[in-house]
Structures are given as C-alpha cells and as structure tokens.
Amino acid sequence: MLTLSPQLLEKTRQIAEQAGKYLTAFYHDVGQNLLDVQTKLDDTPVTAADLFLSQFLIEQLTALTPDVPILSEENCKVPFEVRSQWQEYWLIDPLDGTQQFINRTDHFAVLITLVQDTRPVLGIIHVPMLNTTYYGMQGVGAYKKVGSEIKPLAAQLVPHDRVIKIGVGSIGAQQKVRSILNPNYQYEFLIYGSCGLKSGLVADGTCDCYVRFGSTGEWDTAPAEALLAEIGGQVFDFDFQPLTYNQKAHFTNPNFVMVANSTFDWHKIFQFST
C-alpha cells in the first residue's frame, strides 16, 4: 500500500486544485453548460464538466500512483467481486453538487479520497469558486486553505448549553431534521450547497453537525471521514453506526450525521426512533 506522507497529500491537493481551474472554466462557459446537461439512470444530472473532470482526475491520479485503482462517480462500474479485493483505491467525485453547478450557486466542489483497508485515510474537498480547499490525512492532520493562507483545523468545542448549529441542504431538509431533534435544545440552521461544502463547515467549526436525509454516494462522505478523524469528529448513520466503504454491491449511503466533536452525547440530540 501507499506510504502516507505530506508529499502525497500535497501532490493530491495540487491535482484537486488544477481540476478546480478546469471546473471554473466550464462554469464560465454558460452556453456549453446548458447544452451539455444530461440525466443519468438515477435521475440525477451530469454535465460535460463532470465527464471531463472525471477523466482528468483519473489520468492524474494514475500518473501519481500507477498501481492504485480508481473509482469515480462517473466511472464506477467495477464488479463488486473485483473491487472487494482491493486493499486501497482512490474514490473521487469530480463535481460534487452538479445541480448547484447548473443553478450557478457557486456551491460545488471537487472531492478526492484515498481509502485503505476500507477506511478513508486522505481527503480533499476543493471549492474552486470560494478559492478554498479542505484537506487532511491520517497522522498528518487536517487543514483549510483559503487563497494562499493555510490554517490547521482543530478539534471543535462540545456544544453543551449553547445553540447547536446544524448544516442542511434546503428548507425542506431543515423541516425533516427538526422532526428528529430533542425539543429541549436550541438550534440554528445553515442552508448550504453540496455535501462537500457542508462537510467543510463541520470540519472548520462553522457547524456543529450536518444532517443528511436522502441519497448520497460513498464518494460524497469519504473525504469528510478522513478530515474529521484527524480532529475528533465522526460520521454515523441513524443507528449511530459508522458508514462503510467498498463493503457492499452499491455505493449508496444511508441517512447520516456528520459531527465536529464525537465526545458530545449526540444521543441526547437526535431522536431517530420517534
């Protein structure tokens, strides 16, 4: 398996940021974006940008680590009996937040994760329109880069008696989340774009947690798993169990919660069984 090193993390971050430059170019080409939107079998949109960036990332990561297989959201038709034998692989979402990209909200990202022994160990969330990159690796720490300024991400405070800040994707999602919350606490909701961006808000402490109802893929949550593991955060499903990677025939995640501080008793907050 690959040796985890600051050099590997840095080279991967550079690949993500180069992909972001291409993504920005597509974003400004409004006519091409509108003409090239298609619908996939799962009824989600895909654009020429998704497909181009998928190929670019596959080529770059193959050049960086020739012996490591790659799974992309846009190129993931590898039989489970084959990929289940992999000890490590790259997991990428070339354009996290395709609908946000189409709607021109600026809230979309490039996601890259290295998975070893079924656990994410290196994660990159690059948000080109905000000139921001969240990145981290097991044993190396987690960081936020805005422009040329880099700051380490740190463990977040336990909420306790203050207002708990929750990231969600829409007003409809906010209403769903309210239905599973303990009414004895106070909550503040932040409505934000793609899964990767909300993951970043948890990692940097803007949100205490991010709650997701509905379909996501393993590529959506994997980079956050690597980042949060370095600062004491966690991702769990509505049974308070960890998510799995490359351990089932499909890539769909269950409903989940990302938390910035796993030492807090989240059982007090979430009432999933009601």
Sheet with 119-127, strands from edge to edge, namely 70-72, 88-96, 109-116, 119-127, 132-137, 141-146, 149-152
29 is in an annotated binding site: no
Q: Residue 143: helix, strand or coil by DSSP?
A: strand
73 is in an annotated binding site: yes
Question: In residues, how long is the chain?
Answer: 274
**Sequence-separated (6 or more) residues with CB below 8 Å from residue 146:** 130, 131, 132
Nearest C-alpha neighbor of 123 from the set 269, 9, 267:
9
96 is in an annotated binding site: yes
Residue 240, by phi and psi: left (phi above 0), alpha (psi -120 to 50) or beta? left
Rounded CA separation 127/99 (Å):
15
Which residues sit opposite 126 in a β-bridge? 110, 133
208 is in an annotated binding site: no
220 is in an annotated binding site: yes
Rounded CA separation 225/223 (Å):
5
98 is in an annotated binding site: yes
Which residues sit opposite 181 in a β-bridge? 270
35 is in an annotated binding site: no
Rounded CA separation 179/245 (Å):
28
**Sequence-separated (6 or more) residues with CB below 8 Å from residue 255:** 212, 213, 214, 237, 238
Binding-site members are 73, 93, 95-98, 220
Binding-site members for Mg(2+) are 73, 93, 95-96, 220
Binding-site members for substrate are 73, 95-98, 220
